[in-house]
Structure 1
Amino acid sequence: MFHEGGIPLLDWRENLEFDGRGTLWVAHITKGRVEGYTPDGTLKTSFPVSGAGGIRRGPDGMMYVNFGVNPLTPVGGIVRFDPTAAHPKPEKVVSGISGINGLAIDTEGNFYLSRELSTGILKIRPDGTKDEEWTKKANVFGTNGLEIVGDQLYASVITDTSSPVVRIPLNDPARHTTVVKLSKGPLGIKLLDDLTAFNGDLVVASFRDGELIRVNPETGRSCLLVSGLRMPSSVRVARAFGDNDPRRDLFVVEASGRIVKVTVG
């Protein structure tokens, strides 16, 4: 246990990311803030971001966070902050969009945003303009978690009863394909949330079942990695975070408020 939770759902930690400089950044959606933790579990800083959701490190070393993710803040966008600042101050980068959740950023600084109740993954260029053609071609409904591996974008789908993980080529989004379907029917829907790349595979969180599922993106084969979690919403590989080993250590945030470390193997 890295950090104990509070009242489930009311203490909902939605997403997390390591900045590569020794800090774990966590998006706390219900309290509307971003938190920075040191490897010993100390909360060293926090600052307000309304409806904080997907959080990722950009190729410029800055941290980017979706805001307006919860229903009480219908107009959202993306803010950025400097993780090296003693008192980080979020700066608005993109605004005027709604219904967003997950976030991914490619090496050129393009943003990809998932939408749980809409068709099409949003692509926003570094200058803040929308790539409408790309979004139209990436016509997957109900995406949640996003992860870029090489020239492929992987997305988990939360609304589909078959619980699929989808692959979208960044250079040809119309050629998206399903990697695997993790549910056999409506009663088995896993409510897939965020996912991360891990040792050549993908690890995806099942919010409903409290699981981490490991998926081979080439073959689609899957196995249960961890069970017994409490509404896990995001999972990330520990990078440059104390003595944690990125080949073995994963961190998970939950709607229970907990932050959990998982060691594999």
Structure 2
Amino acid sequence: MGSLVAALLVGGSGTATAAAAAPAAAATAPCPERASVEVFREGGIPLVDWRENLEFDGRGTLWVSHVTKHRVEGYAPDGTLKTSFPVPGPGGIRRGPDGMMYVNFGVNPLTPRGGIMRFDPTAAHPEPQKVVEGISGINGLAIDVHGNFYVSRELATGILKFRPDGTQDEEWTKKANVFGTNGLEIVGDQLYASVITDTSSPVVRIPLDDPANHTTITNLSPNPLDIKLLDDLTYFGGNLVVASFRDGQLIQVNPATGRSCVLVDGLRMPTSVRIARGFGGNDPRHDLFVVEASGRILKVRVG
């Protein structure tokens, strides 16, 4: 949440809260899977040391966008900081089908003209280049197998779609008219989006070839006072795992049924969660990594 919407809504609090009573579709009970949490890297001052998003390049490096220090960091599996380079207000970061890494920039509301940058993860000193620019209020990022970019906006309607050459697909964006999206994840031919500004905390499914036919698969906050402030999400073991910034939770959602449960509780303003791919001895079938607005980077072992 580079726009700091969540921080404003929770008043800067990092205290996890218990889920209120809700229908069966809402996340109220722990998941049956056992999950353990360990600190991969300690944080600093909460909110000041805000790590916003993360992605693995599949070549042994974990890339993290540090929104408040305006840089992208590359970590080795042993926790060593291998490299870092400046990016103004970095947000969503993803590996493209070409093996390059892409990162949103200008996600801070004080940076009115943002976009997407590309960098080579194999370079000793990566030099990001602009692919898309001149857009504002952006946050999350997803990239399909054809190299199209999808960008979320927390305070606007419509998920932005850009072609690989950087031109905008305005018709697709107009049809994907969901307000307040944050995290984005592509599973097959479907795009899943978490919504941060809706008090019902919905997770939405948008068909890539028919974006007007988008549907809500679950509302995680039937009680409007229990808004989750949903952030990034990932696909893991056949389910979606969504970060709840406000409650300090990772919520597991079955995309077919909408049923949900709390996979992890007690985190400190989690902002993104990703599967560990090609990262040392970590197993993508069991290991997730999480970044927080507290600055911490965490490893979650499931099962």
TM-score bracket for the superposition, by shorter chain length: over 0.9
Residue of structure 2 in register with 1:158 after alignment: 196
User: Of 171, 178, 181, which residue of structure 2 is paired with 1:133?
Assistant: 171
Where do 1:1-265 residues align within 5 Å? 1-265=39-303
Separation of aligned partners in 2, 1:125 and 1:84: 24
Give the % identical residues. 84
Which deviates the most, 13-22 or 184-193?
184-193
Residue of structure 1 in register with 2:35 after alignment: none
How far 1:185 moved relative to its partner?
A: 1.9
For 1:202-245, what per-residue CA distance to the aligned partner results, in whole angstroms no more than 9, with x for missing partners? 00000000000000000111010000100000000000100001
SS at match of 2:139: coil
Task: In structure 2, give the amino acid aligned to 1:224.
Answer: V
Task: In structure 2, give the amino acid aligned to 1:115.
Answer: R
Q: TM-score, normalised by structure 2?
A: 0.87
Separation of aligned partners in 2, 1:110 and 1:71: 25
Note the aligned Cα RMSD (angstroms).
Answer: 0.4
Separation of aligned partners in 2, 1:27 and 1:264: 24
SS at match of 2:154: coil
Separation of aligned partners in 2, 1:130 and 1:223: 37
Separation of aligned partners in 2, 1:71 and 1:181: 27
Separation of aligned partners in 2, 1:132 and 1:138: 10
Separation of aligned partners in 1, 2:182 and 2:223: 19
- Structure 1 residue runs of 5 or longer lacking an equivalent are none
Separation of aligned partners in 1, 2:253 and 2:80: 32
How far 1:179 moved relative to its partner?
A: 0.7
For 1:35-74, what per-residue CA distance to the aligned partner results, in whole angstroms no more than 9, with x for missing partners? 0000000001000000000000000000000000001211
- Length, aligned pairs only: 265
Task: In structure 2, give the amino acid aligned to 1:54.
Answer: G
SS at match of 1:65: strand
Q: TM-score, normalised by structure 1?
A: 1.00
- Structure 2 residue runs of 5 or longer lacking an equivalent are 1-38
